[in-house]
Structure 1
Amino acid sequence: MAKTTYRLVEVPFSKTECGVDFFINTAHGSERRGVLTEYPVFKTDFFEMFFFRKANGYLLLGYQKIELHDGMVLILKPHQQQEWHIDEDALDYDFLIFRNDFMRTFIADKFFVYRLQYCQQTDTPPYFMATADELTEYERLLKKIRSELRQPVADSYHIIVSVLYYLLAVLNRRYTETYSLPFELPKNHYAFLFVELMEQHIRDLQRVQEYADLLHVSRVTLNQSVMAQYGVPATVLLKQRLLAEIKNGLLFSHKTVSKIAYDFHFSEPSHLMRFFKKATGKTCTQFLQEYENGTFE
């Protein structure tokens, strides 16, 4: 059955819902009933974390289908197309949302988000399964943030930031353990700077050497840093990021392959198609047809 096409809605963060001037909020799902199904298809400009005690249905996240299960912790990055197929009244979950600029404003470590494996990996899924005890601990931390947001006093933001920092770090540890990812203190910031530069230049720069030149380090040094932090060579991380952008372009930009190839500075559309086939085992047309027919990755 062909997939129905809906108008994509951009959902911005609303500080007014929080009651305070912070780009962060948390609540039980029952307090925001209907928010996941208000729009058939939407994107947000903030991070979203869902802690499911009871779950049902599935989420289409871009071109991925994610089956929802009891005990799942689901972590969504900003600007990803979401399409929820659920019975929202039957869900039991807490959520946490925050914008990246909240992190940059209140957490001194500007690379903190880049240290979080669940924010950078594309080969591992954006979720993990938690035990009942773990969910109870996450719920306790969320309640602490929630109480400070709803009854703020002079030092509330200090407590909110401290608890959030701890929660995100604990989730990162659990995620890295689940998927056997690297977990060590970085010797330098080159890997994080590489990720940051990819966000800015992925359409223009698709060679690791170009990023090494921007960072004024050798390709070998950059690759060693990326391997130590993310467990894959720099070229793999770059190709993963480029492939994700091309997939989004094919599915959601309504542009032709030729126009997408031009946007990403491929010298010929055939070069993009060759890259896509090698990376996915599918042609661009096959990928689009499977998505339209309801076959997701």
Structure 2
Amino acid sequence: MIHFQFLKNKYGRELLMDIGSYNDIPNYFFEPILHSTDFYEIIFFLNGNGILELDNQKINIENNTILFISPFQKRKWYVDNSNIKCHFLFFKDDFFSNFFSDKLFSIKLQFFYNKTKPLFIRIIDNHMQKYQEVFQDILLELTKFKSDSEHIIRSLLYFTLIKLNRVYSETYHLSSNTQNNTTSFMFKLLLQSEIRNNRTVHFYSQKLGVSRITLNKCIKNQFGITSTAMIDEFVLFEIKSLLLYSKLNINEIADLFHFSEPNHLSRFFKRHTNLTPKEYRCNYQNGSSVI
């Protein structure tokens, strides 16, 4: 698999974000070869075509589509590069966390690290035009950099992301709250690093220093599901990814997630998908949908 890293010194100074159109970044990797990046990506398609395979989703790329891609998500593009008009927004987590002293900022955005909802929205023409106007302001600061340009860039980017979070949350009936409920965001962050080793609510409630009841209430308020259901979502997502993009067999995957028996993993998987792990992998290899 190909892995791309962020070019932090592109503008002659360390800046952990970038923005541009397809004309500015013509070597963007729109290819049907498995790849990933180490940074966040939001892609605004004014004109789009084809399909993006993004982890466990297949997304139709249409006009006025906005895509949200988290670091290390695996993807393949099946598009006609000659018929694409889009804008890119790239950034590293530290770009915000250092400036705002908020290590959870990216986690608070509903469209990043979301394991079940579609990782795109579609908007109307005049809304896309508004985003383009903001991008032009950011691009002007990047190309004519001044002592206060980084502050302006952060402010514009922060504004854009919060507005997008509101639209995404409204589209998929989620909470757009980013200022409270720290427990729920810490839980989401812990799931990113601990899900292969720990699958119990007890572990996470102890780690966060709250009761199971309090944790469940926080998760329900923020994400609309129980803490158990969210753990299951993360486990299922990781298992699917390994079935699609690794050569590990069922026994090896069961060991990785500490299932006591491989058939316990198979029962868990079939309960959530109505397919056995083998059927799911075979369907993908035979060209069926990954969803």
Q: Into which bin does the TM-score normalised by the smaller protein fall?
A: over 0.9
The residue that corresponds to 1:81 in the other structure is 74
> Among 9, 13, 29, which residue is 2:22 paired with?
29
Q: Residue 35 of structure 1 aligns to a residue in which SS? A: coil
Partner of 2:39: 46
Task: Work out which of the residue numbers 250, 253, 256 in structure 1 matches 2:246.
Answer: 253
Write out aligned runs for 1:130-169 (5 A): 130-169=123-162
**SS of the counterpart of 1:30?**
coil
After superposing the two structures, state which structure 1 stretch, 178-187 or 113-122, moved more.
Answer: 178-187
Which residue is 1:294 aligned to?
Answer: 287
Match of 2:210 in 1: 217
Distance 2:262 2:71 in 1: 29
TM-score (norm 2): 0.95
Match of 2:276 among 283, 289, 297: 283
Flag the structure with more relative contact order, 1 or 2, with Cα contacts below 8 A and sequence separation at least 6. Answer: 1
1:91 aligns with 2:89: no
Helix, strand or coil at the partner of 2:20: strand
User: In structure 2, do the counterparts of structure 1 residues 21 and 156 end up closer, same or farther at CA, with 3 Å as the change threshold?
Assistant: same
1:266 corresponding residue in structure 2:
259
Q: How many angstroms does 1:284 deviate by?
A: 0.5
Partner of 2:57: 64
| Counterpart residue type for residue 234 of structure 1 | S
Give the corresponding residue for 1:191: 184
Whole-angstrom CA distance in 2 between matches of 1:46 and 1:34? 17
| 5+ residue gaps, structure 1 | 1-7
Alpha-carbon distance in structure 2 between the residues aligned to 1:186 and 1:153 = 31
**Residue deviations 1:121-155, cap 9 Å, x none?**
32210111111111011111112222222221111
- 10-19 vs 85-94, greater mean Cα deviation: 10-19
* Inter-partner Cα distance in structure 1 for 2:85 and 2:102: 33
Q: Gaps (5+ residues) in structure 2?
A: none
Amino acid aligned to 1:88: N
Distance 1:184 1:89, change over 3 A: same
Displacement, 1:242?
0.9
Residue from 115, 119, 127 that aligns with 2:120: 127
Query: Quick one: which amino acid aligns to residue 229 of structure 2?
Result: V
Q: How many residues align?
A: 290
Alpha-carbon contact 1:33-1:89 (below 8 Å) kept: no
Structure 2 CA distance for aligned equivalents of residues 251 and 222 of structure 1:
32
Following superposition, the deviation at residue 103 of structure 1 comes to: 2.1
Q: 1:97 to 1:248 in 2, by over 3 A?
A: same
Where 2:43 maps in the other structure, the secondary structure is strand
1:174-229: per-residue Cα shift (whole Å, max 9, x none)?
11111121234664311011111111211111011110011111001001111111
Runs of 4+ deviating beyond 4 Å: none
**Cα separation, partners in 2 of 1:206 and 1:37, compared to 1, 3 Å:** same
Write the distance in 2 (CA, Å) between the matches of 1:146 and 1:285.
Answer: 48
SS at match of 2:24: helix
**How many Å apart are 1:25 and its aligned residue?**
0.5
Judge conservation of contact 2:56–2:237 (CA < 8 Å) in 1. Answer: no
2:141 is matched by which residue type in structure 1?
E
- 1:34-79: CA deviation from partner (whole Å, max 9, x where unpaired): 4223672211111111111110111111232111110111111111
Instruction: Say whether the 8 Å CA contact 2:32–2:78 is kept in structure 1.
Output: no
Determine the C-alpha separation between the residues in 1 that align with 2:178 and 2:245: 37
What root-mean-square deviation, in Å, do the aligned CA atoms of Structure 1 and Structure 2 show? Answer: 1.5
What amino acid maps onto 2:186 in structure 1?
L
Distance of 1:243 and 1:22 partners within structure 2: 36
Contact 1:186 1:228 in 2 (8 A): no
Is the CA contact 1:50–1:94 (under 8 Å) kept in the aligned structure 2? Answer: yes
Looking at structure 1, the residues matched to 99 and 33 of structure 2 have their Cα atoms a distance apart, in angstroms, of 34
State whether residues 42 and 66 of structure 2, in contact with CA within 8 Å, keep that contact through their aligned partners in structure 1: yes
Worse-superposed segment, 83-92 or 179-188: 179-188
Query: Tell me, what secondary structure is at the counterpart of 1:118?
Result: coil
Residue from 6, 14, 21 that aligns with 1:13 = 6
Shift of 1:17: 3.1
Match of 2:230 among 231, 234, 237: 237
The correspondence for 2:174, drawn from 181, 198, 204, is: 181
